[in-house]
A and B are shown apart, each in its own frame.
Chain A
């Protein structure tokens, strides 16, 4: 998985800014995508490209249980969010619907990655390669159940 980085240097990016409340009435996922991150970045939908990664601080996705948040990011083209930590409902929603990969990164990795960096993520090796900076970072492996659901392509394809 290769893509470039959109970085938000902040903690507690909540689901209300990822996908503001007024848009929860929208059922068309491509329409939802036009409002992704609108709460803190009105230009997000113009700059995001298919395959991009979001890099952010602690407690990404806190707040509401709206699955519209990972859906909006996913349909914008975001393949993974790399954050210092995640709120649990967002994490779970991202995995359940196979919308995007929620990847926990270390503090050093977070600091090293810059806006626009080209990354290659290899979950099988638990590794991120920063092509721009010619370096690699280790990532924590997914817990067993989550790894299996991801491998199956979401909750409904997962057979215990």
Chain B
């Protein structure tokens, strides 16, 4: 029977099934300091061990400060959470990339970077953006702390089989330097909605997906959860295999595995998806979010919508848009390019990889940031930071007035010292514009690294298609 890529990975990991449930084997379990402490407590209480310490990797990312690492951590509760992870990893025998490790970074940046993420595997982590790893053709999804404990103890997880959802992005982008992977995924979510993928696994397909680099595919898969799907997949190809080759944690028989992956990890030509959605890449413009969820997005050439026009006759949507505009302090009809900014944040598991930094640096080079703006750049990992410094990107950003920080989740989620103050408006390359996400009362506009960089110079959003980006 013809199968989709998802079904092939699923079938090869089912340990046991029946009565509408499946017990799924987990190939890689990534752990961080925020969603794991209670899971380890549970193991201790029930005198259980970690079943596969060799398949479990930990790092610190959510609440690490991104300032000078030689200084003590001022926030005692954060310091305690990091200490607790250190103690737990030592006690249970798990490899940890701690705050001083050269491998430290955002969990979804370091997994692929270290070759822990592999095609055809199942990957879980106590973080919803685990969907990122799907860029490698891995079935990767976020779990809560109870499931973290269950996977630590058993290396398995109970699941009901999700449905399949094909997302086709056909054709070519008109200006690939200005219209990025971030604009593709924001356009998808804008059209299918934040719950459009609930209960499904996305598979991104089509020419515009194939032509993306691995790092761009990660940006797309990262935000699958923002479209309601727990995971998103891209079928692995030569780019995938080349990206991973030679990385630290890949298996010894890598070349043999590549042969197998090349042969097997793709959706059969006559396989059927439960749902399908098509977007034409040449219709996509640079996107800027105006509201308080990632579907509330508009073209940069557009205006802040009127709630009744946005709602298209749906009273609930109209109410939501009105509330969102109130929170965001925006007037309907305002040109997006007239929105002035206080802060710019380039970072997060969505957009903090080397390519993101290179693209942003092209715009920043030789310019100064607007005097009204405070801008931060937070590389996703220590490796990204080091590579960027070798390319001299740190100088470009610092000369322009950017803060060049240490790796971590930083201002994506408001649980470390990098936060917005109430009333501050930020162009952010992160993934969520929820109320208070970047700090209580802070206002987030989701954009690509290119848009964030351009906005940092001008002090407001600009149509990046008009810039010389080559």
Assess whether A59 is interfacial by the CB under 8 Å rule: yes
A67 CA / B149 CA spacing, docked (Å): 12
* CB-CB contacts below 8 Å: B12-30 with A: 16, 19-21, 23
Given known contacts A21-B415, A25-B78, A89-B128, A16 and B147 CB-to-CB distance under 8 angstroms: no
Partner of B230, one of A24, A57, A89: A89
Pick from A11, A24, A59: contact of B415, CB below 8 A. Answer: A24
Residue A144 lies at the interface, judged by CB distance under 8 Å to chain B: yes
Of chain B, the residue at the smallest CB distance from A149 is: B158
A43 to B240, CA, bound (A): 50
Measured between C-beta atoms, what is the minimum distance from B249 to chain A in Å?
A: 24
A65–B37 contact, CB under 8 A?
A: no
Whether the Cβ atoms of B77 and A65 lie closer than 8 Å is no
Tell me, yes or no, whether A136 is within 8 Å of chain B by CB: no
* Chain A hits for B320, CB < 8 A: 10-12
| Size class of the B contact interface (CB-based, 8 Å) | 35 or more
Q: Given A22-B414, A25-B81, are A16 and B194 neighbors across the interface (CB < 8 Å)? A: no
Q: Which residue of B lies closest to A16 (CB)?
A: B434
Contacts of A17 in B (CB 8 A): 434-436
Q: Which of A58, A59, A154, A155 contacts B158 (CB 8 A)?
A: A155
Among B20, B150, B195, B419, the residue within 8 A (CB) of A62 is B195
B62 at the interface (CB under 8 A from A): yes
Report Cα–Cα, A149/B194, bound state, in Å. 27
Task: List residues of chain B with CB within 8 A of the CB of A27.
Answer: 37-38
* Inter-chain contact A96/B146, CB cutoff 8 Å: yes
In the complex, the chain B residue whose C-beta lies closest to that of A40 is B435
Among all A-B residue pairs, the 5 with the closest Cβ atoms: A93-B144, A67-B144, A96-B146, A65-B142, A21-B415
Contact B199 A21 (CB under 8 A): no
B143 and A25 contacting across the interface, CB-CB below 8 Å = no
- Minimal beta-carbon separation of B81 from chain A (angstroms): 6
Interface residues of B (CB under 8 A from A): 16, 19-21, 23, 34-35, 37-38, 42, 46, 62-63, 75, 77-78, 80-81, 126-128, 130, 142-147, 149-150, 158, 160, 194-195, 198-199, 225, 228, 230, 293, 316, 319-320, 323, 413-415, 419, 432, 434-437, 440
Give the docked Cα–Cα distance between A147 and B287 (Å): 42
Docked Cα-Cα span, A72 to B437, in Å, equals: 17
Contacting B at CB under 8 A, from A13-39, are: 14, 16-17, 20-22, 24-27, 39
Q: Is B414 touching A21 in the complex (CB atoms < 8 A)?
A: yes
Q: Which residues in B have their C-beta under 8 angstroms from that of A74?
A: none
Knowing A39-B436, A59-B228, A85-B195, say if A22 contacts B144 (CB, 8 Å): no
Cα-based distance from A34 to B46 in the complex (angstroms): 29
Write out the residue numbers on chain A whose beta carbons fall within 8 Å of the beta carbon of B230: 88-89
Nearest-CB residue, chain B, relative to A93: B144
